[in-house]
Amino acid sequence: MNAPARHNIFVVGLDDFHLGQLQTLPGAEGYAFHALFTREEVKPCARFPVRRILIEGRERLSQFPGTADAVVGFWDFPVSTILPLLRQARDLPGPTLESVLKCEHKYWSRLEQARVAPEHIPAFCAVNPFADDPLREVTLDFPFWIKPVKSVLSYLGFRIDVVDDFRRAMERIRREIGRFGEPFNHVLGHATLPPEVAGVDGNHCIAEALISEGRQCTLEGYAWQGAVRIYGAVDSLREGAAGSSFSRYQYPSILPQTVQARMEEIADRVIRQVGYDCAPFNVEFYWDEATDRIWLLEINTRISKSHAPLFRMVDGCYHHQVMIDLGLGRAPTMPHRQGAFRCAAKFMVRRYQDARVVRMPTPADIAAVEAEFPGVVVQIEVEEGMLLSQLCYQDSYSYEVATLFIGAADNTELERIYTRVMERLPMEFEPATPPGEVQS
């Protein structure tokens, strides 16, 4: 008797870490996971090869001898924005390119949000960094944030308090914005853009009034046949001089349920407004506790891979399950509070000055820690001998050197385990510039 055919699921940006997660999903024995592209192919440190990925991806899908049942991805740019174009090659379910861009293009997204939730977004304006005097295009008072209309991990995002801050930011943005801007423009070339967006391409920025004073929370959800559902809320804790560098993601959120419910209603309005359907998303918010005001920060058209282990620890399943179900054109099934822990967090270990890495934990060090603390997963992001400034696409104020996933019975135990784990992970750095030398 022949075994039932497996669903062929093509993953854009597959690596061993996430393949291991996918293979634990309920019903995974019925899935065959294929790397349409590897992580290294879609997330290089140099410019993103969007044109090549689209051409070769379509060829690989069309030449595959079996059925292509889903094309999915969990990375941010360029993966999240090219999935609609790759799915077209095999007529697979998913959102339209325009609905994705209404979320991913920061300026276009604000225009759409302003139509249905104006009271929950900051004042904003588009800025051309290559204009003769870009500051003349800013309609906001100091202080404000400026960032490219397409970026990831707060790359090239700057808080602007005075004119000199703006000038320094423009110098760097002009040098580096093309890394995202040019490949993003290739994607924009496949879309039908309204007049108010057509002139604001990937080499433009958006300036926004400050909204980052409150507590940050991200809703993970999906749209299916016109309905919007939220299945989890994750708190984002920040640190650093600008208050913009993430120190941890913690699940489940401890914000009041009434606040979470209001965030859900706002997300529902906006997702419906942009016409996004048959796909996962997450929406980032701030809640200003002093004024009880909720601000919408941004929408991402994917699951957060950073949150996936947290859902596994608390709910019993990586939320890749939602992505797979939707990719196969069916309503998602996601367990709730069936995991081994009551709370979980991803901790980001950061440094705030460039430095040379002298020592990092060995595989034996990591294995010993993970054996001592069930549920702990350690990932090292740097190598001995390298400069932190060699890391790709960090935020504008810090360097992420390691990440720790930790599950616990409560938030107090979570903090205690984190402290104990850090004591057992040797990390040493030395100044990037030796004494007596001038850094160029």
Amino acid at 399: Y
pLDDT of residue 243: 57
Supply the DSSP symbol for 292: T
pLDDT of residue 212: 74
Give the Cα separation of 119 and 86 in Å (integer): 36
Give the Cα separation of 299 and 264 in Å (integer): 13
pLDDT of residue 439: 42
Compute the half-sphere exposure of residue 61: CA atoms within 13 Å on the CB side of its CA. Answer: 26
Q: Nearest CA to 164 among 143, 140, 139?
A: 143
Asked if 48 and 179 touch (Cβ cutoff 8 Å), the reply is yes
pLDDT of residue 152: 79
pLDDT of residue 436: 44
Compute the half-sphere exposure of residue 305: CA atoms within 13 Å on the CB side of its CA. Answer: 18
Q: What is the pLDDT along the chain (440 residues), one digit of tens a residue?
A: 455 679 999 999 999 999 999 999 999 999 999 999 999 999 876 678 999 999 999 999 999 999 999 999 999 999 999 999 999 989 999 999 999 999 999 999 999 999 999 999 999 999 999 999 999 999 999 999 999 999 877 789 999 999 999 999 999 999 999 999 999 999 999 999 999 999 999 999 999 999 977 899 999 999 999 999 999 999 999 876 655 577 899 999 999 999 999 999 999 999 999 999 999 999 999 999 999 999 999 999 999 999 999 999 999 999 999 999 999 999 999 999 999 999 999 999 998 899 999 999 999 999 999 999 998 999 998 999 999 988 876 777 788 999 999 999 999 999 999 999 999 999 999 998 754 443 43
Give the Cα separation of 414 and 407 in Å (integer): 7
What is the total residue count of the chain?
Answer: 440
Give the Cα separation of 398 and 388 in Å (integer): 9
